[in-house]
Structures are given as structure tokens and as C-alpha cells.
Structure 1
Amino acid sequence: MVTTLDDTKRMMIGTKLADIKALQELVIANEQRFISEINDQDIRHRFQEMLKDDQKNMGVLETVIVQYGIKSEPKQTIRQFVDKLQELMGGSELSIFEKVFQHELLKHQLVMSGVVVHKAAQKVGADVELAITPLNTVNFENRAHQEQLKGVLEVLGVRELTGQEADQGLWARVQDAVAALSGVAGSVITQNSDKSDLNIQDVIRLDHNKTNTLFTEILGSNDPQKIQEYFGQLYKDLSVHAEAEERVVYPAVRPFYGQNDTQELYDEQAEMKRKLEEIKALSPASSEFKDKVRQLMEAVGDHIRQEESTMFAAIRNNLSSDQSEQLATQFKAAKSQLQDQMSASKK
């Protein structure tokens, strides 16, 4: 019988994502503190802009964690580090220059953690790599922030040591560096965008892409253990995705998508759940297993095509951008709750 399972590598990536979220929360708290403590109007403005970016990036990070589908808690050492740095940032032991210096180091830690997760995902599986892809937007923006923080540190450091102003040409160097990074990251989600988060179509499409990748991995493998692992993830992802849609998305779209079309989506997902349970009862080594997976893939493919064509069009025509983003937030929250419930039921 196939069971849902998380291998060690996937669990370790889940823990690292939880670490990154804890550090991102600390970054936001630091920047809010700097805005209230620093009198220099130019530097305060730069921290205000960084804070906007980091609040958007928290939304992206939360999307990645829910999309990844393996929930974890930060390591004890990370929790201790966060507590200690919060204490230092709120105290008087460090000068403002030293506090910003620690903040720049924190940004570096976030950048490297994000890069490591991205590289590890490439080794673990295509579905994992796809799930964490939006994390690249956070990595690029944190890297750009590092360049800006170098300029802030030059200004604050020269003032602290000499009481005089630093060469103002440094801001031009900083802006050149940020512009170069923005060119590299030109297609990332948060670049040149005021969006606070992805809309409901974006989030559902991310799920669909990951589902298609898992089907490809299952059908392309001859290793029963890997097939079991991939199907375990597919089972969890499809179960949670379907239930969250039925709780949040379908009731929201029914008034303008229509009773009959919406009911068809419910019916298709009921059949999908039946097929999932049927496959779950089979051995991944059996000849029947992949035949059943192909049948499921065909049914899910038809369902995806309907959602991404007619349902998405109805959403675009009837919901504002803010309403679509709010629906995405509710959908992610429902998924997160369902993932927690599924994890608790296994203990």
C-alpha cells in the first residue's frame, strides 16, 4: 500500500524554509525599528522602501512554504539566534551603525540560505525545484538590499567615527549595483511590481504545474521507492488543493461562473479523490499502478484545462486585483490549515 511519506532530504528543505521565514520576520522587525530610530530622511526612506519589499517577500515566502507542502519548524539554534538579535536590536549596547551592520549580515544569511535551498531542490526532485522557484525573487531582492545597506553603513560609519558626512557619490555606486542586479532579475515576481502577493490564478497555476511535474516523475521512474515517494507527495498535494478549492474558491466563483459549471468542478474533484484512493491501495511495483496513474493524469488534465481557461477568465472579468489577491490569501490559509491537519493525523 502506498503511504504518504517525506524523505529526509525533503524534510530538511522544509526546515530550512522555516528558518528563512523566521529570519525574514526578524528583518521586517529590524526595519520597522530603524524607521522609528533613524532621523536621516534619506536613510529612513531607504528603509521604508526595503520594508515594503520585505513585506511583499514574506507573502512570496509563505506561498513557497504552502506550495512546497511539507511543514516544519525553525531549528532551535535559529530560534535562539533570532531571540538574541532581537534583544541586541532593542537594547542600547550597539550603536545604530552596529545595528545596521548586524542587519546587513542577516541579509547575507538570508541570501545564502535561499541559494542553498534552490541548489538543494535541484538535486532532490523537479517537483521540489518547481515548488520553491518563487523563492528566487526573495533571493534577488535581498541581494539588492545588501548593496543598499553598504551605502547606509558608509554614511553611518563615517558619521560615527568623524562626525562628518561621507562622500555622497556612494549612492550613485549603490544605485548602479542595484540596477545591475535588477537587470539579472528582471522577470522575477516582485520586481517593478506593487503587488503584495500573487493572485488566485497565480497560486492555483503553481499547484497545477507542480502536479504535472509529479505525474511526469512517477511515470518516468522505474524505482518503486521513488514512485512511492512521488505519489505520496501527489496524493497530499491533490487532496489539499481540492479541499481548499472547495472551501474557498468554488463558493466565491459560483455566483458569476454559474451553478452548472461550478458543480462540474466539484464532481470532477470527487472522481479524482476516488481515483487517488484506488491508486493508494495498489503496490507501486504492480503493472496496474502506472495505468491507473495515467487515467488519473488524464482526468486531472481535463480539470486543469477547464479551470485555467473558463474559470480563470470568469475571475479576471468579475474580480478586482485586490479581490483576486485576497482570495489567494484565503486559499493559501486553507491549504496551510489542511496540511497541518494531515500532518497531525499521521502522528
Structure 2
Amino acid sequence: MVTTLDDTKRNAIGAKLAGMKLIQQLLIDNEQQFIRECSDGEIVENLRRMLDDDQKNQGILATVIVQYGIQAQPKENLQDLVQQIRQLMEGNELSFSEKVFQHELLKHQQVMTGLVIHKAAQKVGADVMAAIGPLNTINFENRAHQEQLKGILEILAVRELTGQEADQGIWARVQDAIAAISGAVGSAVTQSSDKQDMNIQDVLRMDHNKVNILFTELLQSNNPQKIQEYFGQIVKDLSAHAHAEEEVVYPRVRPFYGEANTQELYDEQARWPIVFEQLQSLSPSAPEFKDRIRQLMEEVMDHVRQEESTMFAAIRNNLNTQETEELATQFKSAKSRIQKEIARTRGANV
């Protein structure tokens, strides 16, 4: 019998992503505190730019986690570490430059975690690579932030130790780091990746791409364990996607997309849980299992083609940019909540 047990590697990556989100919020809180405490206008301006990047990157991380499909918790030791750092940042034990030094270490940790997730995803599956792709933007910007913080640290530390200004040539490196963030390379990365202001078409298209990759990976595999893993992820992803669409998207588009067209989308998705249950009664090594998966893939991709052609066109013609972005935010919020509900239900049934 095919089960839909969570794959340990995917759960481990999910916990790493949750840890990145936790650290990202700490970075934001630190930078807001630094801006309040710092009296150097030039450093404050650089910190404001960094804060803008980090707030945007927190939105990217939230989208990546929803797209990844596993709502995990950071490890307890990381949660304890974050709490300890918060206490240090809020207290008087460290000087301002020492606090910035700890902040730079957090940036380094965030860079290495992002790189490790990227490398691990290469080993787990193409669908994981597709889901975490926007991390490339965060990794790039955090690496540039590190260089910027090193320059700021030198200036602050020299002031604290000598009471004099550091060699202003240090600012050349700081400005180089800023250029790396906001210049041509950084812009290219950011423009080609996820953004906070994605519209609903962008978000749905990402979901469609990921499930297509999962189907393809499953059909190409001859390993029963991997087939079981891919099938389990297909069930979770399609279930969360469908429920979120039915809660948020379809009611919004029904007035201008039409009753018949919208109801057709509802009806198609209503079939999927029935097919999932039928497939769970089959062995993943049975020839008929892949035959049924191919049939399901054809049904899902037909559904996708309808959404991406006629429904997306109706959205473009009837909703403005702000409305499509708000709909994307509502969809991601609903999907995140549904993913957590699915995880709780599965945990209760184990």
C-alpha cells in the first residue's frame, strides 16, 4: 500500500527554512534597533538600505516556505540561541560595535544556511530546487551585507578604541558592497526571482510548475521509496493548493470568469481526493500505479492549462495590479494555514 509519509530529508530542509525565517526576523529587529541607537547619519542610511532588503527578503522566505509545502518549526537549540541574542542586543553588556559584530555573524550564518539548503535541494529533487529558487536572491544580498557590515564595524571599533575616525578609505569597500546590492548584478537577480509584490498569476504558476516537476520525477523513478515520497508530496501540494484556490481565488473570479467556467474548476478539483484514495490502495511498484498517475497528471495539467489561459486572462482584464497582488497575499496566507491543518491532521492519524 502506498503511504504518504513525510520524507525525513524534506522535513529537515523545512526546519532549516523555518530557522532562516526566525533569524531573518532577528536581523530585521536588530537593524531597527541599530537605526534608533546610531548617531552617524551615513551609517544609519546604509542600515536603512539593509533593513529594506531584509524586510523584502522576509517576504520572500515566507513565500518559499509556502511553496515548499512543509510547515516546520526551527530546532529548539536555534530558538534558544535567538532568545539569548535578543537579550544581548537589548542589554548593556555589549558595546554598539560588539552588537554589530554579532549581527555580522548572524548574516554569515544566514548565508551558509541558504547555501546548505541549496546544495541539499540538489540531492532531494528538482521540485525542491524549484520551490527554493528565490533563496538565491537572499543569499546574494546577505553576502553583500556581510561586506558592508565589515566596513561599518571597522569604523565603529576604531572610534570606540581610539576616539578618532578610521581611515575613510574603508567607506570605499562599504560603497562597493552597496553597489553590489543595488547595482546591475543585484537587480538582475532580484528581477528574475520572487518578490513580495507577486501577483496571483505568478503564485499559481509557481505551484503549477512544482507539481508538474513532481509528477515528472515520480514517473521517471523506479525506486519505490522515491515514488512514495513524490506521491506523498503531490497529495499534500495539490490538496493545499486546491483548498486555498476554492477559499480565496475562485469566489473572487466567479463574477467575471463566469458561473460555468468556475464551477468546472471546482468539479475537477473535487475528483482529486477520490483519486488519491484509490492510488493509496496500490503498491508503488505495481504497473497500474504509474498508469493511474499518468491519468491524474493529464487531468491536473488540463486543469492548469485552463487556469493559465482563460482564467488568467479574465484576471488581467478585470483586476488591477494592486488587486492581483492582494489576492496573491490572501492565497498564500490561506495556503499556509491549510498546510498547517493538514500537518496536524496527519500527525493525529499517525
Distance 2:150 2:321 in 1: 36
Distance 1:122 1:319 in 2: 38
Distance 1:225 1:232 in 2: 11
Tell me how far 1:63 sits from its aligned partner. Answer: 0.9
Q: Following superposition of structure 1 onto structure 2, how do residues 117-128 of structure 1 map, counting pairs within 5 Å?
A: 117-128=117-128
Residue aligned with 2:188, SS:
coil
* 2:6 corresponds to 1:6: yes
- TM-score w.r.t. the length of structure 1 is 0.94
* 2:190 corresponds to 1:189: yes
- CA RMSD for the aligned pairs? 1.9
Q: Following superposition of structure 1 onto structure 2, how do residues 168-317 of structure 1 map, counting pairs within 5 Å?
A: 168-180=168-180, 183-189=184-190, 196-317=196-317
Tell me how far 1:162 sits from its aligned partner. Answer: 2.1
Quick check: 2:283–2:289 contact (8 Å CA) kept in 1? yes
Aligned to 2:331: 331
Residue aligned with 2:208, SS:
helix
Distance 2:114 2:196 in 1: 20
User: Where does the alignment leave 5 or more consecutive residues of structure 1 unmatched?
Assistant: none
Distance 1:39 1:178 in 2: 20
Residue aligned with 2:190, SS:
coil
Quick check: 1:218–1:227 contact (8 Å CA) kept in 2? yes
Tell me how far 1:2 sits from its aligned partner. Answer: 1.8
User: Where does the alignment leave 5 or more consecutive residues of structure 2 unmatched?
Assistant: none
Q: Deviations over 1:175-219 (max 9, x none)?
A: 3344346555543336899x5342212211111111011011111
- TM-score w.r.t. the length of structure 2 is 0.93
Quick check: 1:200–1:325 contact (8 Å CA) kept in 2? yes
Q: Deviations over 1:104-129 (max 9, x none)?
A: 11001000000000000101111111
Relative to structure 1, the CA distance from residue 291 to residue 192 in structure 2 (aligned partners, 3 Å threshold; closer, same or farther) is closer
What amino acid does structure 2 have at the position aligned with 1:15? A
Quick check: 1:15–1:73 contact (8 Å CA) kept in 2? yes
What amino acid does structure 2 have at the position aligned with 1:244? A
Tell me how far 1:276 sits from its aligned partner. Answer: 2.7
Aligned to 1:95: 95
Relative to structure 1, the CA distance from residue 141 to residue 321 in structure 2 (aligned partners, 3 Å threshold; closer, same or farther) is farther
| Percent identity of equivalent pairs | 65
Distance 2:172 2:262 in 1: 55
Distance 1:71 1:221 in 2: 26
Q: Following superposition of structure 1 onto structure 2, how do residues 61-76 of structure 1 map, counting pairs within 5 Å?
A: 61-76=61-76
Quick check: 1:137–1:190 contact (8 Å CA) kept in 2? no
Relative to structure 1, the CA distance from residue 259 to residue 168 in structure 2 (aligned partners, 3 Å threshold; closer, same or farther) is farther
Instruction: Give the aligned length.
Output: 346
Distance 2:193 2:234 in 1: 34
Tell me how far 1:270 sits from its aligned partner. Answer: 1.8
Distance 1:330 1:192 in 2: 20
